Chain A
Amino acid sequence: MATGSQPFVSPWLVAAAGWAVPGLGHAIVGQKWRGVALFAAVASLFVGGLLIGGVRVVDMPGYFDGQRQILRNGSWTLTQNPVGTVLGKPWFIAQSLTGPSAFVAGYGGIVAARNGYPKPTARLSDIGVLYCATAGMMNLIGILDASGRASRQGGKP
């Protein structure tokens, strides 16, 4: 599909839009059907992961047992050592690439944990985590693709 008639949009803006809403980056560069297909696939994988394992498969870094903030010397580890804390839960890095929905789900997981909903058993937890992380990784590919298309329309990356 020709994209030459599209006005130039910054690849960074396209990437940000693609992260905020999967597929929106493609829609901005004039590839609406690609955007719709990507959104359907990424959203299905992410929602599927939440349905399989429950919202607690999105495990926010910096929380002990998914509900209480981990404190060290009186301050929250996520503000004290953000890189180390996030690296402690590497799956969340991939899941967060799905966009703000991952953070909403992560917050939902904290609320669910505080209300006594247990973490799923090992296998279902693994599958749910895998679905959500795969959604994020596929969205990353989508972000890079949309950003590349934007830069080929005449701008610089």
Chain B
Amino acid sequence: MPLLASSTGWVPFLSPAPIWDAWPILLLPLLVGISVAYKAMKVPTASRLLPEALKLTLYLTLGLIGAAVALTVLVGFVL
């Protein structure tokens, strides 16, 4: 962390992370967090939490990719 901070000027929690070009990747941890929080309340046993959360993450990711493709087609070819 100190090496990263000294090489990029990033001060954790005070300045923005140096990830300007990789921001779409940030979608994945967000979806994992949402899935784990949601499934923590839904699944009957703790052993089912991880597989169910991963499945939901996959569905959400595929859904967002599908929405992105559909919108790209709509904007690029239809409108």
Contacts and interface: CB of A to CB of B under 8 A. Distances in A.
Contacts of B49: 33, 37
B16 A52 contact: yes
Contacts of B51: none
Interface string B10-50: 01111111011001001001100110111111001110010
Q: Is the interface of A mostly helix, strand, loop or mixed?
A: helix
Contact of B14 (A45, A52, A117, A121): A117
Interface residues on B, range: 20 to 34
Contacts, number: 89
Interface in A25-81: 33-34, 37-38, 40-42, 44-45, 48, 50-55
Contacts of B30: 45, 48, 130-131, 134
B36 A40 contact: yes
Contact of A51 (B12, B38, B44, B46): B12
B16 A124 contact: yes
A121 B33 contact: no
A41 B37 contact: yes
A132 B32 CA distance: 14
Task: Give the 10 A-B residue pairs with the shortest CB-CB distance, closest first.
Answer: A120-B16, A37-B40, A41-B37, A138-B37, A41-B36, A45-B33, A33-B46, A145-B41, A124-B16, A38-B40
Interface of B: 11-17, 19-20, 23, 26, 29-30, 33-34, 36-41, 44-46, 49
